[in-house]
């Protein structure tokens, strides 16, 4: 029952997170698009441009003021709760998925990191990350946007690498995303909103607004703009074990992020110039290259696998010794595979999991019958041989020999008789 309730809590929070996230990023994309498409030829007095659009059966006419209208309207729409609720629901989801069950999803299999410590590192790093970022932007580097951008990129990838040293690959990715997301929301909360409030107040009091605040806001919203696509990838990355499950997961994330920033840059600049027309085809070629470099090397064992810790190796040695008599008895290969799956996987992956953590088979993946095992051989390879994502948190202490056994069997076409 408890596992079932956690699943529904997860479902509800994730759903909310997605809805408000779409509202936030959608509004942000829309305003960038507006800005880029304003008709700036001969604007009316006090305007910087206007734009006509048709949507949902109605025709809209939008105008952008150079600074502000002579009189502020009664009802000015602000966009901030989309950002705040995305962060709040995101942090709640981080707790529900990773912090409620740290040994399952958060901590790297075989690591001796204490759960409370892992949670402190995870959550604490988000806060520290924001302050480091904020200091960098306010330092003299803030006047050199390109250099600052490069340094921020390197720091984010460094964070991804550091996370991958203490967390499971999946948790390393999600914390990198949460770190960037925290910076983005921090920008809205601490910089962009205050700048807008100061602007409105100055106009209402007939003062000249401080030009420094909007300039600061602009830098921060530009960062948010370039952060968006990498964050969106990270949020869906847990579907793609060849990325987060790799030993070089942080490098793969760096590659994908470069392509994402390139694509964003193309969309940001295409209205003014065609100089970055090469960006989209280049990104497509980049994705194909990444697909090749991340491909598992099926002849060479387990190239992408995270090295096992000493603790795991000693468990492996014990288990290899325990498994030896069965091999001597001359069982068929599939019988061995079946035993491994039953021992290491079916506590979770069964119609009725015996693990108290799951009330139903995770993602509907079940290994109750030989046919089910055979049908899902390719997935088993991806999860338990090429990468070592499964068994989750290596809760069932699977050994390297067992992974090799599964790999060899699958390479032969996964015969079950
Ligand atoms: C402790 C519980 C647990 C154990 C043990 C376990 N898994 Fe999983 N498995 C999960 C969970 C949870 C998911 C869903 C992960 C997610 O939400 O993305 C999953 C997902 C999968 C998937 C589907 C991945 C996808 O994205 O389609 C496969 C395949 C899989 N596991 C194979 C295995 C194999 C093979 C073993 C044994 C070597 C194993 N699992 C052991 C919990 C477990």
Q: What is the pLDDT of residues 82-126, one digit of tens each?
A: 999 999 999 999 999 999 989 888 998 778 899 999 999 999 999
Mutational test site, ligand 1, from 3, 302, 383, 402, max ligand atoms within 8 Å of CB = 383
123: phi then psi, degrees, rounded to nearest 5? -70, -40
At residue 303, does pLDDT exceed 50? Answer: no
* 319 — pLDDT class (breaks 50, 70, 90): low
What are 259's two structure tokens? Answer: 């392509």
Task: Give the per-residue pLDDT at 367.
Answer: 95
Q: What pLDDT is recorded for position 235?
A: 96
Give me ligand 1 centre to Cα 349, in Å: 7
pLDDT (tens digit, 9 = 90+) per residue, 255-297? Answer: 999 999 999 999 988 888 888 999 999 999 999 999 999 887 6
Let me know: does 107 contact 118? Beta carbons within 8 Å.
Answer: yes
Q: What does the alpha-carbon distance between residue 195 and residue 217 come to, in Å, rounded to a whole number? A: 6
- At residue 382, the pLDDT reads 87
User: Among residues 260, 292, 251, 256, which one has the least CA distance to residue 279?
Assistant: 260
Residues with CB under 6 A from ligand 1: 238-239, 344-345, 347-349, 355, 362-363, 365, 376, 379-380, 383-384, 390-392, 395-396, 398
Spatial CB neighbours of 335, under 8 Å, sequence gap ≥ 6? none
**Which has the higher per-residue pLDDT, 272 or 225?**
225
Tell how far the Cα of 373 is from the centroid of ligand 1, in angstroms.
13
Q: How much is the mean pLDDT over the chain?
A: 88
The minimum-distance atom of ligand 1 relative to the CA of 395 is 1
Q: If you measure from the C-alpha of residue 32 to the centroid of ligand 1, how many angstroms do you get, rounded to a whole number?
A: 40
For a pocket test of ligand 1, which of 341, 363, 402 has the largest count of ligand atoms closer than 8 A to its C-beta? 363
What is the distance of C-alpha 57 from the center of its chain? 36
**Residue 331's pLDDT band (cuts 50, 70, 90):** low
37 vs 360, residue with greater confidence: 37
* pLDDT of residue 240 exceeding 70: yes
**pLDDT at residue 149 above 80?**
yes
Band (pLDDT 50/70/90 cuts) for residue 309 is very low
CA 116 / ligand 1 centre spacing (Å): 24
From the CA of 402, give the closest atom in ligand 1: 38
334 neighbors 415 (Cβ within 8 angstroms) = yes
CA of 390 to the centre of ligand 1 (A): 5
Checking if the pLDDT of 246 tops 70, the result is: yes
């Amino acid at each position: 029952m408890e596992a079932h309730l956690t699943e529904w809590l997860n479902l509800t929070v994730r759903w909310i997170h997605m809805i408000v996230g779409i509202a936030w990023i959608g509004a942000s994309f829309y305003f960038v698009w507006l800005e880029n498409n304003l008709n700036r030829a001969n604007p009316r007095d006090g305007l910087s441009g206007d734009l006509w659009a048709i949507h949902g059966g109605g025709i809209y006419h939008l105008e952008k003021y150079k600074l502000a209208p002579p009189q502020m309207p009664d009802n000015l729409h602000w966009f901030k709760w989309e950002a705040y609720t995305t962060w709040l629901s995101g942090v709640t989801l981080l707790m529900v998925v990773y912090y409620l069950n740290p040994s399952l999803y958060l901590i790297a299999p075989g690591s001796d990191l204490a759960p409370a410590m892992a949670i402190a590192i995870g959550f604490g790093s988000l806060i520290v990350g924001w302050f480091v970022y904020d200091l960098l932007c306010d330092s003299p580097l803030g006047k050199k946007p390109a250099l600052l951008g490069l340094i921020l990129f390197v720091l984010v990838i460094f964070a991804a690498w550091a996370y991958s040293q203490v967390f499971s690959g999946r948790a390393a990715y999600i914390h990198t995303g949460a770190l960037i997301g925290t910076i983005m929301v921090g920008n809205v909360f601490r910089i962009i909103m205050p700048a807008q409030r100061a602007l409105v107040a100055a106009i209402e009091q007939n003062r000249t607004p401080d030009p420094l605040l909007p300039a600061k806001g602009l830098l921060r919203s530009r960062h948010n703009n370039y952060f968006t696509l990498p964050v969106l990838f990270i949020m869906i990355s847990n579907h793609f074990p060849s990325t987060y499950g790799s030993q070089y997961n942080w490098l793969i994330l760096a590659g994908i992020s470069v392509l994402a920033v390139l694509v964003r840059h193309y969309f940001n600049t295409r209205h003014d110039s065609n100089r970055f027309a090469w960006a989209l085809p280049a990104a497509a070629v980049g994705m194909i290259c990444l697909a090749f470099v991340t491909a598992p090397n099926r002849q060479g064992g387990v190239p992408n696998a995270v090295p096992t810790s000493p603790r795991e190796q000693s468990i492996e040695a014990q288990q290899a010794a325990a498994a030896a008599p069965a091999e001597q008895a001359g069982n068929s290969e599939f019988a061995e595979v079946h035993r491994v799956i039953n021992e290491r996987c079916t506590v979770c992956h069964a119609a009725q999991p015996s693990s108290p953590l799951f009330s139903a088979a995770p993602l509907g993946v079940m290994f109750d019958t030989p046919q089910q095992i055979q049908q899902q051989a390719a997935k088993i390879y991806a999860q338990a041989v090429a990468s070592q994502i499964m068994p989750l948190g290596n809760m069932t202490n699977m050994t390297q020999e067992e992974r090799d056994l599964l790999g060899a069997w699958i390479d032969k076409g996964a015969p079950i008789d």
